[in-house]
Each structure stands twice: as structure tokens, then as C-alpha cells.
């Protein structure tokens, strides 16, 4: 059968598998196993990528897998396939997070195509921005993107509350530096300049010491030194991504919402920086739940803004089979 995008079904699925692998993930660990064949995709959690010290309940790896799931879904839609998604399909196989098949043809809208095209351009930002995201229409679009995936994006506008959140990030980061040295869990994902492995956080991706944001400290990627120069002057627009419940299904939904928000932002020329350190501390997370999220569960803490021109990604890797340009 020929798809509306003129790509055979099995090629659309192969392209979607590759698109899933471009999702953001905690420490760049890519904690998913994307399998299946023909016109079926399976998405599983990789047991070798667990973060037993930072995240014993595996919230962040599951959230990362949710982001991969959104990449798969939007790719299929952009390629003319209506995805049928069964999440957590087998209680006896808890590591199997989703199964994706075809529910027939879809007429890809321009939004599907634009979000798919943004997959290769989206990158995590670290450090300051050239300017904050203050465009009301774009912010509303990000809120809608989160809501469509069953989550909420809560902007924190009061400067005192922004300072309080920054203080919680600082507290968590200090705790981790004192309490986690010698755990090789995070070091495992820190990559020196030129390291060819795609997984992990590379020296090229994070600021040199002293060049990051003066508030909202970066994670300690300290085994190697970051290479990014200090650029920009703005912290950006601070927001929390939240969900009403806090089980695996909610974490999977939060990941899909995160990726949809990030692609919507990238499409409009904005990027996000993340500071999830306090969400790895149960007491700090409970405090943020109550005081910043009206009892909803915080899944991600973000800063959103427009990166300086040198930090923008105009063109990403071109390894998505079927090529974005072919369907745009």
C-alpha cells in the first residue's frame, strides 16, 4: 500500500523508529529499546540505563521513553500513518512501555509536518539565553501542546518565586555534589570533547566553569570541563511541567508532553534548559508539588528562551531515513 507521503508503510515505520531515537533523555542516556519490525514498533525501557542512585523509581528514564514515543507518533503522522498506541500493554512485562501499530492512513496536517521537521533542530540549551520566551501566542501554544498530552505547563512569573525555585535547584545540586561523589552513575554519561559515542552529555554541550547561568546551576558534569562560552544574559521563562497523577502512565504521558512542548518551541525558534536536580530529592519534590504546582506532580523544571545565534541549531544530523525535506 502506498502512503499519502509516497513512503511504503514499512519505510514509514523504519523512519519513525529512527525519529524516536532523537528524543531528549536524562543524561543523554537514551534509556529506550526501540524494536519491532515491519509495521509494528515496540518501545521498552533499557534495564542497563537505570539510575538507581538518582532516580530509584525510574521516573526520568520512563519520562525519556515517553519523549521517544512522541517522536515516533509525530513521525508516523507526518508520514501519513495514523498510529495506534497501546501503552503499558502487558502487566507481566513492565519494561514494555508501548506498542505502536497502524490504524490506517492519516492526512498529515501542517502542524504534524512542522513538529516532525523540528525533531532534528531541537537541542537542550545550557546557560543563559539571548532573550526569554515572552511571546503570548507561543506560550499559549506550548500550554496547549502539554494539555493535549495530558499534562500542564505552569509558568512561574513572580520574580520571588523564580528565585525560590532557583534556590531549590542550588540546594539539590549542592546535596548531590556532597552526597553522590564516587557514584559513577552520572560520570558514566559525561563525555570528553570529541568522544564519538552518541549517548551522554558531551563537553561541547555544556558551559565552561563560570560560563553557565549564575542562578539555576547546571548539573555537575565535572569529570570533564565544558567548552561552551558564556553567551546571552537572560535566565529565560521558568516553567514546570506537571501531571495530575504520578505513576508510570503519568511519567510516560509527561515525556510525550515534554517532547511536544519542546518541538513546538523549536518550531518557533526557542529552546529549553532543564534543571531536574530538585525533582530527584523526594522532600524537595514534595515541597515543589505543594507550593508551586497546586498539588499536581512536577515532572520537569524548564527555562525557555531564544538562544544566542552561535547556540542555535539550524541543521541537525540528517540520519532520519526518508528525510524530513522529502515530506515538508
Ligand X SMILES: Cc1cc2nc3c(=O)[nH]c(=O)nc-3n(C[C@H](O)[C@H](O)[C@H](O)COP(=O)(O)O)c2cc1C
Interface with ligand X by CB under 6 A: which residues?
A: 24-28, 60, 63-64, 67, 123-124, 126, 201, 218-219, 274-277
CB of 37 to ligand X, least distance (A): 26
Closer of 84 and 319 to ligand X (Cβ): 319
Nearest to 24 by CA among 299, 245, 217: 299
Cross-strand partners of 45:
32
Closer of 68 and 139 to ligand X (Cβ): 68
Closer of 81 and 119 to ligand X (Cβ): 119
User: Residue for cell digits 517522536?
Assistant: 71
Separation of alpha carbons 77 and 12, rounded Å: 9
CB of 221 to ligand X, least distance (A): 8
Separation of alpha carbons 23 and 316, rounded Å: 13
Separation of alpha carbons 176 and 67, rounded Å: 25
Closer of 7 and 19 to ligand X (Cβ): 19
- E strands of 28-170, at which residues? 32-35, 40-45, 81-87, 96-105, 131-132, 152-156
Nearest to 128 by CA among 26, 217, 6, 43: 217
Q: Is the Cβ–Cβ distance between 71 and 79 less than 8 Å?
A: no
Closer of 101 and 230 to ligand X (Cβ): 230
Residue 283 makes CB contacts below 8 A (sequence gap 6+) with: none
CB of 257 to ligand X, least distance (A): 11
CB of 189 to ligand X, least distance (A): 8
Closer of 200 and 322 to ligand X (Cβ): 200
Cα separations in angstroms, 324 against 117, 120, 206, 207, 311? 6, 9, 27, 30, 22
CB of 105 to ligand X, least distance (A): 30
CB of 114 to ligand X, least distance (A): 19
Amino acid at each position: 500500500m502506498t502512503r499519502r507521503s509516497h513512503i511504503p508503510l514499512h519505510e514509514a515505520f523504519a523512519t519513525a523508529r529512527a525519529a524516536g531515537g532523537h528524543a531528549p533523555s536524562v543524561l543523554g542516556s537514551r534509556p529506550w529499546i526501540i524494536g519491532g519490525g515491519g509495521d509494528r514498533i515496540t518501545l521498552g525501557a533499557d534495564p542497563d540505563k537505570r539510575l538507581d542512585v538518582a532516580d530509584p523509581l525510574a521516573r526520568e528514564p520512563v519520562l525519556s521513553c515517553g519523549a521517544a514515543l512522541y517522536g515516533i507518533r509525530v513521525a508516523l503522522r507526518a508520514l501519513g500513518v495514523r498510529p495506534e498506541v497501546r501503552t503499558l500493554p502487558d502487566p507481566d512485562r513492565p519494561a514494555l512501555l508501548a506498542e505502536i501499530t497502524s490504524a490506517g492512513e492519516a492526512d498529515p496536517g501542517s502542524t504534524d509536518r512542522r513538529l516532525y521537521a523540528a525533531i532534528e533542530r531541537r537541542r537542550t540549551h545550557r546557560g543563559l539565553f539571548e532573550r526569554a520566551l515572552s511571546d503570548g501566542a507561543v506560550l499559549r501554544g506550548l500550554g496547549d501542546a502539554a494539555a493535549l498530552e495530558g499534562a500542564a505547563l505552569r509558568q512561574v512569573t513572580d520574580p520571588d518565586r523564580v528565585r525560590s525555585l532557583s534556590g531549590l535547584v542550588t540546594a539539590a545540586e549542592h546535596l548531590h555534589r556532597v552526597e553522590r561523589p564516587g557514584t559513577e552513575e552520572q560520570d558514566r554519561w559525561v563525555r570528553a570533547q570529541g568522544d564519538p559515542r552518541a549517548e551522554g552529555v558531551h563537553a561541547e554541550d555544556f558551559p565552561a566553569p563560570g560560563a553557565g547561568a549564575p542562578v539555576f546551576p547546571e548539573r555537575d558534569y565535572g569529570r570533564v570541563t565544558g567548552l561552551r562560552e558564556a553567551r546571552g544574559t537572560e535566565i529565560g521563562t521558568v516553567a514546570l511541567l506537571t501531571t495530575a497523577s504520578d505513576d508510570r502512565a503519568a511519567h510516560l504521558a509527561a515525556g510525550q508532553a515534554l517532547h511536544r512542548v519542546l518541538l513546538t518551541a523549536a518550531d518557533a525558534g526557542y529552546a529549553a534548559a532543564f534543571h531536574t536536580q530538585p525533582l530527584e530529592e523526594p522532600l524537595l519534590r514534595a515541597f515543589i508539588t505543594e507550593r508551586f504546582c497546586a498539588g499536581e506532580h512536577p515532572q520537569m523544571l524548564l527555562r525557555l528562551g531564544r538562544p544566542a545565534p552561535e547556540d542555535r541549531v539550524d541543521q541537525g544530523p540528517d540520519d532520519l531515513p526518508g528525510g524530513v525535506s522529502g515530506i515538508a
